[in-house]
Structure 1
């Protein structure tokens, strides 16, 4: 897995481009935000997250899909239960993953962050394959964007407290941070 610094796309991962992105206002990348997602809630696989991030969610497949189909959201990456990584948005662009958010006194975290979605829920443990892929991806991102230090890795719940709960109590921050080094 290698980042093409000109395009912001990783080689060696699946590409599934999302239209739900735009240009970063300043080009800064200094925060990593960890999320979780499952569609429908609590169910894994099926390609529904990919369809959601591409505005192609079939509302006839599940009643919950009708509630969220009009939303236009994305993340830079999704790590599925088997550890496979999909990239939706170039790292150079702003994905729409954080919403109303604030970190270190700065609002609009999408402007300066990368978003990684883990296929999962707040309550269910994430898989070994996901932690391995997350660690590998995070190390590659730290090499490319040295401002992403251990202190600048946060959960969605940290930057949108009271509004978001992910990645949730089942996420093991120590497991992620072990082996990661400051750049």
Structure 2
């Protein structure tokens, strides 16, 4: 995967209006892993992309009533079959983390890249999703000074629960290190990447 001006040409692109400029474009150090499905637990529909691109039909499902007026986005979305969709340039600030804190820094949107996995807290994720996430992480590490990967639940504890117990951090970590063996130039970067489940906000 290659990145040009914050975009991956290999990803399907849906431009979102829900983004703005980062306070410091050089300060992109955190990758945040989320999950999402609309309606909850149902996969493959258009509603996630519609939500992030600001065109969701709130009448399509009763549960969507709570989404009215919500302006959110993510940089990336990984479907159950591993297909990758991008909504916001990684150079810009997507609105994915909300109220959050990491290593004593609030407003994680300022310095993070958000990746949504199609799923929910109570189901395991697919092998194709892990493969795409690992490949995407490698691509991002080539272009941005990432130092940490955290779940949304870890930067917004008590408020968010994703990606949840269905996400296997060890599978993801092993895939990253395996890919790094094939790319010696990135081996040191991946070895130093903190993929830590549940790192305390104060750390």
Structure 2 length-normalised TM? 0.85
Q: Which runs of 4+ in 1 moved over 3 A?
A: none
Residue number in structure 1 paired with 2:163: 167
Task: Tell me the alpha carbon deviations over residues 36-87 of structure 1, each in whole angstroms, 9 at most, x when there is no partner.
Answer: 0000111111111000001111112101112113100000000000100000
Residues 8-19 of structure 1: pairs in structure 2 closer than 5 A: 8-19=6-17
SS in 1 for 2:97: coil
Deviations 1:60-118 (A, max 9, x none): 21011121131000000000001000000000000000000000000000000000000
Q: What is the match of residue 74 of structure 2?
A: 75
Q: Distance in 2 between matches of 1:88 and 1:109?
A: 18
Aligned length: 178
Equivalent runs, 1:126-145 vs 2, <5 Å = 126-145=125-144
In structure 1, C-alpha distance between the alignment counterparts of 2:65 and 2:56, rounded to whole Å: 9
Describe how 1:27-176 pairs up with structure 2 within 5 A.
27=25, 28-145=27-144, 147-149=145-147, 152-176=148-172
Q: Please report the TM-score for the alignment, with normalisation by the length of structure 1.
A: 0.95
**Residue pair 1:57, 1:69 contacting (<8 A) in 2 also:** no
| Structure whose residues are more often helix by fraction | 2
What is the CA–CA distance in structure 1 between the aligned matches of 2:116 and 2:85, rounded to whole Å? 10
TM-fit CA distance, 1:122:
0.7
Structure 1: unaligned runs, 5 residues or longer: none
Q: Which runs of 5+ in 2 are unaligned?
A: 177-186, 190-203
Q: As a proportion of its length, which structure holds more strand?
A: 1
CA displacement at 1:179 relative to structure 2: 3.5
Contact persistence 2:131–2:175 (CA under 8 A): no
